[in-house]
Homo-oligomer: A and B are copies of this chain.
Amino acid sequence: MNTFGTLFRLTSFGESHGAGIGGVIDGMPAGIAVDEELLRREMARRRPGQSTLTTARNESDTVELLSGIFENRTTGCPIGFLVRNTNSHSEDYENLRQIFRPSHADFTYQAKYGLRDYRGGGRSSARETITRCVGGAFAKMALNLLNINVHAYTSQVGTISLDRDYRKYDLSLSEQNDVRCPDPVIAAQMADLIRQVKTEGDTIGGIITGVIQGSPAGLGEPVFGRLQAALAGAMFSINAVKGFEYGEGFSGVTERGSNQNDVFVPDSKGGITTSTNHSGGIQGGISNGQDIYFRVAFKPVATILKEQQTVDVNGKATTFQACGRHDPCVLPRAVPVVEAMAAMTILDFYLQNRASTHFEKL
């Protein structure tokens, strides 16, 4: 199942060390100006080697757009794209042929498929998230027309964390540091921790917070197509994600209904708003027009530079020590991936809702 979405769909292919990574975006609305600068920016935010906090692997990750665009506008036809793999040291991985690396997908791919491309994790490599960023960039081009904005940032690395409330921060600052954290002081602490972990040859986890602003009320398709169900599924399709919550999330379980309910009040324009937003912008699976916010938990990634016990493909005990270039903390580079998945999800639901909303007024 390498296709994501219902009306706006991304189909992806590619391995870490094959010819390249690519995909097909289907259901992109027609007539939208292609913002190549936006696409380049999203790719740059995800690419390795962008700072001292990430892997030193250096890949330019240039996207070739193959179809679906004419005279710089989307045509409504599928957008094929390809990013060639250029910096693939496959020989670095020859030692992986016989080994199942701990907490990697080596064992499960072998169990499921009976064989695997062991070079750099093959299909299970996080390099596959390139396709999300391409899809997300096109989704953002459409969302920009709707004034729907998707923003994510690093809110926790290890035990260093921001306040849960995203409204306390100027989110526009998050791209001004390598960690992608909107508080420069905390960002520096996070960066220090990541560098320390890197020195140790270890890895560290963290949390990314996402916020969708400008979503109209009405997006979401109850009961199994609840907006939060799709967002959760989208986030759990990202490597290393172990948790998702929206609104008050896990912290709300200790609360009483009387202080979690969001009271409706008239707004200044004659409409209806809520005085609080514990719900996270979704009620009954449908957006209510308030900000949609959520948190995504990332485990420390599995590739560490320390020797570990493991077994070989025959089940015999052995040891394994990774070498090469790896991310000590996936968070900074995962921020654009979280945004991309959220952008594709919200656009998909926008289109689904558009299909039938106010039909009776025709």
CA–CA, A74 and B11, complex, Å: 18
Q: Are A3 and B13 in contact (CB under 8 A)?
A: no
- Out of B108, B113, B262, which one reaches A31, CB within 8 Å? B113
How far apart are A20's CB and chain B's nearest CB, in angstroms? 6
- Closest approach, in angstroms, between the C-beta of A125 and any C-beta of chain B? 10
Q: Which residues of chain B are within 8 angstroms of A358 by Cβ–Cβ distance? A: 31, 114
The residue from B113, B115, B252 contacting A242, defined by CB atoms under 8 A apart: B252
Whether B105 and A257, one on each chain, are in contact in the complex, defined by CB atoms closer than 8 angstroms, is no
A245 touches B31 (CB 8 A): no
A207 and B253 contact, CB distance less than 8 A: yes
- Give chain B nearest CB distance to A353 CB in angstroms: 7
The answer to whether A355 and B354 have CB atoms under 8 Å apart is yes
With A257-B302, A258-B306 as contacts: A142 and B359 at CB distance below 8 Å: yes
Q: 6 tightest CB-CB pairs across the interface, nearest first?
A: A105-B284, A1-B225, A31-B360, A13-B80, A243-B245, A29-B359
Asked if A272 and B105 make an inter-chain contact with CB atoms under 8 angstroms apart, the answer reads: no
Are A26's CB and B3's CB within 8 A?
Answer: yes
Shortest Cβ distance from residue A184 to the other chain B in the assembled complex, whole angstroms: 22
Contact with B along A317-334 (1 / 0, CB 8 A): 100000000000000000
Candidates B103, B228, B357; contact of A260 at CB < 8 Å: B103
Q: Which of B69, B80, B262, B360 contacts A145 (CB 8 A)?
A: B360
Query: Is A120 in contact with chain B by the CB < 8 A criterion?
Result: no
Cβ-neighbour of A232 out of B19, B232, B258 (below 8 A): B232
- Main secondary structure on A side of the interface with B: mixed
Q: Does A156 contact B (CB under 8 A)?
A: yes
Q: How far is the CA of A303 from the CA of B197 in the complex (A)?
A: 47
B-facing mask of A177-193, CB < 8 A → 1, else 0? 00000000000000000
A residues 270-290 touching B (CB-CB < 8 Å): 270-272, 274-275, 278-280, 282-289
A247 CB to nearest B CB, Å: 6
- Does A310 touch B at the CB level, under 8 Å? yes
Task: Output the nearest chain B residue to A246 by Cβ-Cβ distance.
Answer: B242
Which of A37-45, A60-68, A168-176 has 4 or more CB atoms under 8 Å from chain B?
A60-68
The interface residues of chain B lying within 8 Å CB-to-CB of A56 are none
Given contacts A76-B356, A356-B27, A202 and B250 within 8 Å (CB-CB): no
Within 8 A of B (CB), among A94-150: 100, 102-105, 107-109, 111-117, 122-124, 128, 142, 145-146
| Contact of A112 (CB < 8 Å), options: B82, B224, B245, B286 | B286
Q: Does A57 have its Cβ within 8 Å of any Cβ on chain B?
A: no
Interface string of A291-324 (1 = CB under 8 A from B): 0000001111111101011110001110000000
Chain B residues, CB < 8 A from A235: 232
Determine if A77 is an interface residue (Cβ-Cβ < 8 Å): yes
Q: A126 CA to B102 CA in the complex, in Å?
A: 41
- A258-B355 contact, Cβ under 8 Å, with A31-B114, A272-B107: no
Assess whether A49 is interfacial by the CB under 8 Å rule: no
A214 contacts the other chain (CB 8 A): no
A210 within 8 A of B: no
Q: Once bound together, how far apart are the Cα atoms of A20 and B233, in whole Å?
A: 30
